[in-house]
Chains A and B, each alone.
Chain A
Amino acid sequence: MADSATTQRGNDNSLAASIRDAALAAFLVAILGFFFLALRTDIAPGGLALTTRWGLWFTAIAIVFAGRLLLNIFVFKTDKPITRVLSGTGSAAGNALPGLGKWLGRALFAFALVLPFFFITFFPSQQRQFIDLAILIMTYIMLGWGLNIVVGLAGLLDLGYVAFYAVGAYSFALLSTHFDFIGFWVALPLAGILAAFWGVILGFPVLRLRGDYLAIVTLAFGEIIRVVLLNWYEFTGGPNGISGIPKPTLFGLEFSRGEGGFADFFGLEFSTIHRFIYLYYIIFILAIITNIVTMRLRRLPIGRAWEALREDEIACRSLGINTTNTKLTAFAIGAMFGGFAGSFFATRQGFISPESFTFLESAIILAIVVLGGLGSQIGVVIASIVMIGGIELLRNIGFLSQIFGPGFDPTQYRMLIFGLAMVLIMVWKPRGLVSTREPSAVLKEKKKIGADMVAQGEGH
């Protein structure tokens, strides 16, 4: 029995079998694609006109044949699937270099500290674009870290995190447009508090829920907030959004041309880049605060209670932990950081509308947390850079539009790329890029805890 299985397997492994299998797949594509790709009907004067697109049809067949052949050779019909080799090297690298994450974190921090000046010096022609991209990535890092408290530490799957981002943004926008004396720095804590308040409001109904039900209700809550913002025309401006949101000032100095501006005060030549650098440092500091507070909370009893809650809620209750309050604090603190990021988003854009707070945003933030590795801070950074930065860079790569035609916009394929990245990472590292857990207290020797032991909590 075992012998016949191995022989069978041996036959399967031959190159001929791989090619045969790939040819079959290509044949299927040829049949299906003939009607969908090769033939196309257009409305023409006097009825429908049939046009053919043989180039597209052949390209599709060739892609499927080549893709299937490569998969067969490297994954499906080999004794050493490349996926297994990859995950092997991945974990081996993690074990061999225990300090890698720490040093990578320090290097990234040092780079982030000088990033605007790096781009000004080395890429003066594209400095504005790069710093803007850095601001965007930093915003997602901050959102990822905020969501990591709820999903990674407390283990509560939140699909509506963008709601708190929206609450923060609208809090700042409405406060600053209605009250002249409220600037960015006054509104920032208020936006955080309001978002935390909404975090508690959301927390209450979901406390009793577990698993999939928790995820669905948080998803619904995110949509409710967006739909209210869209329809409460008198208050939020509905789909028109809110414009004219003030820019942040540096101790009262505005980043404007002329008398009394930042450049004038310091005797510099006016440049719009100053404001971008300033915005970058605001979000950088906000993100670093998020990180420091989260790392600190992990070592405090509340953080340990969150992680214990993720591991076993019943055991938590038997040890006298009020699970209701513990969950609510996780929601509130996660929401607060979302609110901070939201008010930064509002001041950076100067204009907000409900369109910026769709479910897609929640999905992207969650994807960043999951891809980075639940509970891992450095993982969120890497995932943000790859997901957000990578896609924005695609936009600038000229050769893609030469291949796919001038109308090709890679950002339209971001969900496809997200999906592909998800699949690849889930094959390679099923628990995210950085899946080991660092203990929050050490007696003698710090040992990393493997992902297979760490529970994922509710809704995963």
Chain B
Amino acid sequence: MAAAAMQMPDVTGDTKKWDLDPVLTVEHLTMRFGGLVAINDLSFNVGRREITALIGPNGAGKTTVFNCVTGFYKPTEGRIVMRHGPGRQQDAIDQLTAGGHKWQTTPEGAVFLLERMPDFEISQHARVARTFQNIRLFGGMTVLENLLVAQHNVLMKASGFTLGGIVGLPSFRTAEKEAVERAVYWLEQVRLIERADDPAADLPYGDQRRLEIARAMCTEPQLLCLDEPAAGLNPRESSELNQLLQYIRANHDTSVLLIEHDMGVVMEISDHVVVLDYGVKISDGDAETVRNDPSVIAAYLGVDDEEIEEEPEIAALVVEAVGEEAAKGAGLGISPETPTRPGGKGKTGGFE
């Protein structure tokens, strides 16, 4: 039933690519912390080999969605489906949901129910990698070591779960050489190859952000979840980040889900934008659709929906204001870091 709801064409009438071939489907996701509803009945799709942005004001619940998808939180309700291989694979998902298993291989690939899996299995089997809002590198280990730790499961298997590695099996040496090659490849992509033997904590902030992405990519993910990758980057660095993400989308079988406040990044590279506010989805569509959605503008400017309905002239003013901003080429251009919105009427704040 839930799946049927997802298959309904969206408001714009035509069915979008992310609904036809989603890599990740979040259905009726609800997350409560005690009495606090951080996410309320949230459903969206992440298209295969697309860049999907999850945006919203501070405290909208974006990071909570990430933590649910990557298994750091157990959702209160809802289903999170990850798919390897093309298509919706609806039969397999229904079968899996009815049964007790966490995942199932299908002729197309495999399907995973992420809400049933612990965090490390989501990375290991469902191949969802993530980065963190506050960078979490292994600071006392070198850049290269960071990327080798990311390939732990592959190397562990190659080392015969350590026993073969202790006696020095040649197959392990080959696997380790491949792991180093993969690390070198990603270091070249993020332009950190010169610093491979330096401790990660020694890198400047922007380099640490890129290293974290490289480390996530070393797990060879099908879905890469980036939590504010452009936070703290200067304009040149964030345009490099855009290129990196577009490179990943074009050359690797990896879909990207990102949380971002930098509208320049979001509007430029996103194929699909989902807007959250107070744990509820308020808009879903391509960048252009979302940019012109009055409810999004209202959320960012801090106007309650009721006010828009009651006083259409406010909405008109808002659209006008944002139109001017957009004309300047700055996207929505309104800094979400300064919430202008007064306390919502009876609504609960999100959790981040």
Contact = CB atoms under 8 A, between A and B. Distances in A.
Interface of A: 293, 296-297, 300-302, 304-305, 307-308, 310-312, 314-323, 329, 437, 439-447, 449-450, 453-455
Which of under 10, 10 to 19, 20 to 34, or 35 or more describes the interface residues of B?
35 or more
B193 to A, nearest CB: 8
B144 interface: yes
Residue of B123, B155, B199 with most partner-chain A CB within 10 A: B199
A308 B138 contact: yes
Contacts of A437: 140
Contacts of B202: 453
Given A297-B166, A449-B142, 20 more contacts: A300-B155, A302-B159, A305-B149, A308-B141, A311-B138, A314-B72, A315-B132, A316-B120, A320-B121, A320-B122, A321-B153, A322-B124, A439-B142, A440-B145, A443-B180, A445-B197, A447-B198, A450-B199, A455-B139, A455-B140
6 contacts: A308-B138, A311-B139, A312-B139, A314-B136, A315-B138, A443-B196
A301 B165 contact: yes
A401 to B, nearest CB: 47
B124 A320 contact: yes
Contacts of B159: 300-302
Contacts of B132: 314-315, 318
A320 B123 contact: yes
A450 B123 CA distance: 31
B138 to A, nearest CB: 4
Contacts of A446: 197
A450 B72 CA distance: 32
A308 B149 contact: yes
A324 to B, nearest CB: 9
A304 B148 contact: yes
Contact of A444 (B120, B145, B196, B219): B196
Interface string B194-217: 001111011000000000000110
Given A301-B165, A305-B149, A320-B152, A315 B123 contact: no
Contact of B119 (A310, A317, A445): A317
A318 B119 contact: yes
Contacts of B119: 317-318
A322 B141 contact: no
B256 to A, nearest CB: 16
Contacts, number: 139
Contacts of A441: 142, 144-145, 148, 180
A318 B142 contact: no
Nearest to A449: B199
B299 to A, nearest CB: 29
Contact of A315 (B124, B137, B144): B137
Given A300-B166, A441-B145, A319 B197 contact: no
B164 to A, nearest CB: 9
Contact of A453 (B130, B139, B145): B139
A439 B141 contact: yes
B46 interface: no
Given A318-B123, A443-B197, A445-B197, A307 B156 contact: no
B315 interface: no
A311 B141 CA distance: 8
